[in-house]
Amino acid sequence: MKNINVVAHKSLRKQAISLAHSISKLDDVKAAYWTPNQLKDNEARLTGKQALILIGSTPESDPYIDLIKVKSSKHGVSWGFDGTKAAIAIDTDKVDSKALLKDLKKHVDIAKETEKAESSRRSGDSILPATTIGIMTSAALLPTFALAFNIFAIPMLLITWIIKIMSKKKELRKTQYAYGLLVFSQNKLDDFLNQLT
């Protein structure tokens, strides 16, 4: 059984809980939301094998984030993993908001189409082609991940939240985190989960 703690500040609680809930739908995986204070309180009991997904930068999570080799960075947000630790964190707020929103919309559309295709596949209307699934590397993996794929498309609750985000300066951080969570979920989460023992 893989145990994963999704650590995020209270301001990102809804998104962290959504991610933990989605991951928990997988066979042989348990995920829970933790605040940075819970991470700090439980740090002495954690082993190096404890999987953490860190969302945002806090004094409690920064030592872990510093260990992670950045896999990708765009629009001022970085996401990646190293061993049992994964992170999505904002690097800078000096970004082109219009380009960020355009790219975010593109990824939301991909997630919606994937979810729609997966829903049709489950109802027997069509077979989901492996090429539409960004998280899979071959069609042979389709049976293994078909049920789990829906979690990588991000639940509609999160997609709805993403679409409602405005491009105002005060919303930029939320938009960056939405983008980072969505792209990490689509492109890196399966690799992270697969390499956990």
Which CATH number goes with the domain that contains 6?
3.40.50.10490
For residue 78, the cross-strand partners are 73, 89
Between 156-164 and 13-24, two packed helices, what is the crossing angle to 10 degrees? Answer: 150
Question: Which tokens is 53 given?
Answer: 């997904």
Asked if 39 and 103 sit in the same domain, the reply is: no
Q: What is the average pLDDT score of the chain? A: 78
Q: What pLDDT digit, counting tens, does each position of 143-185 carry?
A: 334 434 445 455 555 666 666 654 465 578 888 888 888 888 8
Q: Check pLDDT > 50 for residue 17.
A: yes
CA angle in degrees (0–180, nearest 5) for 64-67-73:
100
Q: Confirm if 52 and 85 have CB atoms less than 8 A apart.
A: yes
Distance linking the first and last C-alpha atoms of the chain? 9
- Residue found by looking up tokens 């969302």 in the block: 55
Asked if 111 and 160 sit in the same domain, the reply is: yes
Q: Is residue 64 part of a domain?
A: yes
Residue where a domain stops, chosen among 58, 92, 126: 92
Percent of the chain with pLDDT over 90: 23
Question: Which tokens is 29 given?
Answer: 């995986």
Distance from C-alpha of 24 to C-alpha of 155, rounded to nearest angstrom: 13
Asked if 66 and 103 sit in the same domain, the reply is: no
Q: Is residue 25 part of a domain?
A: yes
Q: Is residue 190 part of a domain?
A: no
Range of the domain at 121: 97-172
Q: Check pLDDT > 90 for residue 6.
A: yes
Asked if 30 and 47 sit in the same domain, the reply is: yes
Asked if 130 and 151 sit in the same domain, the reply is: yes
Amino acid identity for residue 71 in this structure: K
| pLDDT for residue 196 | 87
Q: Is residue 179 part of a domain?
A: no
Q: Is residue 157 part of a domain?
A: yes
Question: Which tokens is 51 given?
Answer: 């999987």
| pLDDT for residue 162 | 62
Asked if 50 and 103 sit in the same domain, the reply is: no
Question: Which tokens is 45 given?
Answer: 């009991």
Could you write out the three-class secondary structure of 122-187? HCCCCCCCHHHCCCCCCHHHHHHHHHHHHHHCCCHHHHHHHHHCCCCHHHHHHHHHHHHHHHHHHH
Q: Which of 105, 104, 112 is nearest to 153 (CA)?
A: 112
Asked if 71 and 138 sit in the same domain, the reply is: no
Asked if 86 and 161 sit in the same domain, the reply is: no
Q: Is residue 192 part of a domain?
A: no
The number of distinct structural domains making up the chain is 2
Asked if 88 and 104 sit in the same domain, the reply is: no
